[in-house]
Chains A and B, each alone.
Chain A
Amino acid sequence: MRTRWQRFKESYMLYSFLRDPIAVTCFAILAVLVFSAFAAPVIAPHDPYDTTTINIMNAQLPPAWEQGGNADFLLGTDAQGRDMLSTMLYGMRVSILIGVGAVCLQAFLGIVVGLLSGYIKRLDNILMRIADVQLSFSTYMVAIFIGAIVQAAFGVAGYDEVAVPLIIVIIGLAEWPQYARTVRASVMAERKKEYVEAARVIGLSKTRIMWRHILPNTLSPVLVISTVQVANAIMSEAALSFLGLGMPVTKPSLGSLITAGFEYIFSGSWWITIFPGILLVTLILVINLLGDWVRDFLNPKLYKG
């Protein structure tokens, strides 16, 4: 009996993955980004949250390789004098946290709804109607609406403390329909298969069938959309922050950094907004490319030649 790890090492998936240069590069880049983001407290040269170390005299310094730059601040400083590199690392951590958190929430909600919907006819209609309508509004719009309503309700004060979980909830609520529909489609397809019939004949209860038999088979499509959904969640958070409905300036994510830096490109301090921008795009891009690879791998329907 080979262990799971041994089986994975020998699996076709790993073989195929290692042969694809794009997939490997993206994974490497992503690993570096995620590691640096979470190791930020250790590897960042400065602490952007410690107001005592920030000197307004250092504001708007260009990157180290340009004239007027300072080797201490490798990528320059922003309008308050905070080091760009450090702020970006912490910001990336926030973005990733929110992205993954939101996806976990959406997946949980979506899978539960999808299972119920696929298995219980009476709930199906209502749940799917809601999902359809929500989808037709597009998840961005729903997230913006909910964000706006929350802001109107609670005002901007007191927002800081709950910002991260709140945004996770907002995006999670906005995006669950995707998961619900995917899972439901899988459940409906699996239900018709004979092994479910066989399980029922043996006398297994509905919940048991749902949990132990159908659920594992629906995980493959869930995995496929999960990678893309993380990228989407990060983008949604950036959009919300840009509109002022997301992370506050004191605890910035990459999105709010870009927003804050925008006005300064007219006065020449382009790095304040461009560097976080490049980092954000790179992060989303590698996740999307990996997601594409996962989807292509699990869906060999189309001969790619």
Chain B
Amino acid sequence: MFAFTVKRILQAVIVMLIISFIGFAIKHNFGDPVRDLVGQRVTAAERAQIRERLGLNDPFPVQYVRFLRDALHGNLGQSYFFKKPATEVIVKKAPATLELVFCAALIIVVLSIPLGIYSAIRPKSLFSKLIMGGSIVGVSMPVFLTAILLIYIFSVELHWLPSYGRGETVLLFGWWDTGMLTADGLKHLIMPSIALSSIMLPLFIRLIRSEMMEVLESEYVKFAWAKGIKPWRVWIIHAFKNTLLPVITVGGVQLGIMVAFTILTETVFQWQGMGSMFIESVERSDTSLMVAYLVFVGIVFVLVNTLVDIIYGLVNPMVRVAGRQ
């Protein structure tokens, strides 16, 4: 188990280095740090001076190492548009995205498990067929389209829910801007979370259902029936526990899709989170901010995936023992 963990962490570090390298390469070739710092109204002579001062004439590897060092200290460059350090901008926008992701994840977990299990146990019932039908439609609708439809129905036609922004937020701990403590904030959270979960939810339902159905055909489940074990115990403890493993593996990977979708969702709802910030930075050619986001997201991915792998190793007794041997 220990060897396994160490190997995973090493892999993670290598990947992070590659990401940082790509990020730096982009910044180096397409970014303009001078402009980021002082804007565009400077003379050529001043530019040359600043370039020298920033060490921009140094060879590539030297600059890369400097970039890494800065990154480790939390300095990912300066945002041209916001005139602030990129890290600061990201951190300020993070709570908005994180709350959105949290709510969407909650919806997914709370709904997909019971619906997935039910449609696996009673695959021919009307309700199951409805679930599966709904799922395939859900998977075929791009996130932004779901968002637009939701806005159209609930904001434009019914006027029930607000169509953009986060609403009223409350400042927690001096820096975390939360929308979950106000009724208005919660109202604003509803549609974006539903939109964000709209593709992942059916995916998970189908995943849980197909894994569960396969497990239900296995010999050991049949044996559990032959032993006269109560149905709910067979379904939950014998069957579901075995579906958890593949679901965790696949689920961890879905995180990547989730982050991509926050970009889309935030853009539709004008949700002031990291996703819309990224798109805006692309439109404004704010390279530093763009790269900062890429690196940040890359690190988050690597961390989460490594964590998922390690958790999987802990949960799966076969991996555990194999590691020991």
In-complex A–B contact (CB below 8 Å): yes
Residues of A within 8 A of B (CB): 129, 133, 135-138, 140-141, 144-145, 148-149, 151-153, 155, 231, 235, 238-239, 242-245, 255, 258-259, 262, 265-266, 270, 273-274, 277, 280-281, 284-285, 288-289, 292, 301-303, 305
Q: Which residues of B contact A303 (CB under 8 A)?
A: 217
B contacts with A, residue count (CB < 8 A) = 52
Query: Which of B82-90, B100-108, B277-285 contacts the other chain?
Result: B277-285
Closest chain B residue to A283 by CB distance? B140
Consensus secondary structure, chain A interface: helix
Given contacts A284-B140, A285-B140, contact A302 B260 (CB under 8 A): no
In the assembly, what is the distance between CA of A148 and CA of B26, in Å? 11
In the assembly, what is the distance between CA of A289 and CA of B163, in Å? 32
In the assembly, what is the distance between CA of A259 and CA of B145, in Å? 9
Name the residue among A149, A151, A231 with the largest chain B CB count within 10 angstroms.
Answer: A149
In the assembly, what is the distance between CA of A109 and CA of B11, in Å? 25
A-B contact pairs, 22 of them (CB 8 A): A136-B301, A137-B256, A138-B253, A140-B257, A141-B297, A145-B294, A238-B145, A239-B143, A242-B142, A243-B263, A243-B264, A243-B267, A265-B148, A270-B156, A277-B149, A281-B137, A281-B141, A281-B145, A285-B136, A285-B140, A288-B139, A288-B140
B30: contacting residue among A153, A270, A280, A292, CB under 8 A: A153
Given contacts A243-B267, A265-B156, A284-B140, contact A277 B257 (CB under 8 A): no
B156: contacting residue among A136, A148, A151, A266, CB under 8 A: A266
- Name the distance in Å between B174's Cβ and chain A's nearest Cβ: 32
Q: Which residues of A contact B123 (CB under 8 A)?
A: 305
Q: Which residues of B contact A285 (CB under 8 A)?
A: 136-137, 140
Given contacts A145-B294, A151-B282, A152-B30, contact A138 B144 (CB under 8 A): no
In the assembly, what is the distance between CA of A52 and CA of B256, in Å? 45
- Name the distance in Å between B145's Cβ and chain A's nearest Cβ: 5
In contact, B256 and A138 (Cβ under 8 angstroms)? yes
Known contacts A149-B26, A258-B145; can you find 13 more A-B pairs with CB under 8 A? A138-B254, A138-B259, A140-B261, A141-B259, A144-B263, A152-B287, A152-B290, A243-B264, A245-B282, A259-B144, A285-B137, A289-B136, A302-B213
In contact, B213 and A141 (Cβ under 8 angstroms)? no
In the assembly, what is the distance between CA of A285 and CA of B267, in Å? 24
Closest chain A residue to B163 by CB distance? A266
In contact, A140 and B301 (Cβ under 8 angstroms)? no
Check: B96 CB closer than 8 A to any chain A CB.
no
Given contacts A144-B263, A265-B151, A289-B136, contact A277 B145 (CB under 8 A): yes
Binary interface profile of B, 249-269, with partner A (CB < 8 Å = 1, else 0)? 000111111011101100110
Give 9 closest A-B pairs by Cβ, nearest first: A138-B256, A140-B260, A285-B140, A284-B140, A138-B257, A141-B260, A148-B282, A137-B256, A242-B144
In the assembly, what is the distance between CA of A292 and CA of B210, in Å? 13
In contact, A136 and B214 (Cβ under 8 angstroms)? no
In the assembly, what is the distance between CA of A291 and CA of B214, in Å? 20
Closest chain A residue to B298 by CB distance? A137
Residues of B within 8 A of A (CB): 11, 15, 18, 26, 29-30, 123-124, 136-137, 139-145, 148-149, 151-152, 156, 163, 210, 213-214, 217, 252-257, 259-261, 263-264, 267-268, 278-279, 282-283, 285, 287, 290, 294, 297-298, 301, 305
Name the residue among B124, B145, B256 with the largest chain A CB count within 10 angstroms.
Answer: B145
Name the residue among B144, B214, B253, B268 with the largest chain A CB count within 10 angstroms.
Answer: B144
Closest chain A residue to B25 by CB distance? A149
Closest chain A residue to B308 by CB distance? A136
- Name the distance in Å between A271's Cβ and chain B's nearest Cβ: 11
In the assembly, what is the distance between CA of A84 and CA of B177, in Å? 42
Q: Which residues of B contact A231 (CB under 8 A)?
A: 140
Given contacts A138-B253, A289-B136, contact A239 B141 (CB under 8 A): no
Closest chain A residue to B18 by CB distance? A133
In contact, B279 and A244 (Cβ under 8 angstroms)? yes
Q: Which residues of B contact A140 (CB under 8 A)?
A: 256-257, 260-261
In contact, A135 and B253 (Cβ under 8 angstroms)? yes
In contact, B213 and A262 (Cβ under 8 angstroms)? no
In contact, A277 and B148 (Cβ under 8 angstroms)? yes
In contact, A265 and B256 (Cβ under 8 angstroms)? no
In the assembly, what is the distance between CA of A151 and CA of B284, in Å? 11
A138: contacting residue among B137, B217, B260, CB under 8 A: B260
In the assembly, what is the distance between CA of A144 and CA of B262, in Å? 12
